[in-house]
Amino acid sequence: MKAEHLAVPGVRALTPYLPGKPISELERELGLRNIVKLASNENPLGPSPKALEAARRASSEIHLYPDGSGFELKVALSRKLDVRPEQITLGNGSNDALELVARAFLSPQSEAIYSEYAFAVYSIVTQAVGAQAVVAPAHDGSHGPRYGHDLQAMAQAVDESTRGVFIANPNNPTGTYLTKSELCSFLGDLPEHVIAVVDEAYFEYVEAPDYPDCIEWLSDFPNLIVIRTFSKAYGLAGLRVGYAVSSPAIADLLNRVRQPFNVNSLALEAAKAALDDNDHLTRSVSLNREGLRRLSEAFTERDLSFIPSVGNFIMVDMGRPAAPVYEALLRQGVIVRPVANYGLPNHLRVTVGTEEENRIFLAALDRVLAL
Per-residue pLDDT tens for 240-258? Answer: 999 999 999 999 999 999 9
Q: Give the residue with greater pLDDT, 21 vs 120.
A: 120
Q: Where are the domains of the chain?
A: 3-46+279-369, 61-276
Alpha-carbon distances, residue 95 vs 198, 199, 200, 318 (angstroms): 13, 10, 12, 30
| pLDDT attached to residue 3 | 73
Which CATH fold would you assign to the domain 3-46+279-369?
Aspartate Aminotransferase, domain 1 (3.90.1150)
DSSP state of 109: T
| Equal CATH topology for 3-46+279-369 and 61-276 | no
pLDDT at res. 13:
73
Question: If we measure between CA atoms, which residue out of 211, 128, 123 comes closest to residue 175?
Answer: 211
For residue 74, the one-letter residue type is K
DSSP string, 153-221: HHHHH--TTEEEEEEESS-TTT-----HHHHHHHHHHS-TT-EEEEE-TTGGG---TT---GGGGTTT-
Do 170 and 146 contact (CB within 8 A), yes or no? Answer: no
- Beta-carbon contacts of 44 under 8 Å, excluding residues fewer than 6 positions away, are 287, 351, 352, 353, 354, 357
User: Does domain 61-276 sit in CATH 3.50.50.60?
Assistant: no
Does 115 have pLDDT greater than 80? yes
- pLDDT by residue (tens digit) across 150-183? 999 999 999 999 999 999 999 999 999 999 999 9
Q: Give the Cβ contact number of residue 310 at 10 Å.
A: 19
**pLDDT, tens digit, 9 for 90 and up, residues 259-285:** 999 999 999 999 999 999 999 999 999
23 three-class SS: helix
In the chain, how many H helices and how many E strands?
14, 13
Neighbouring CB atoms inside 10 A of 103's CB total: 17
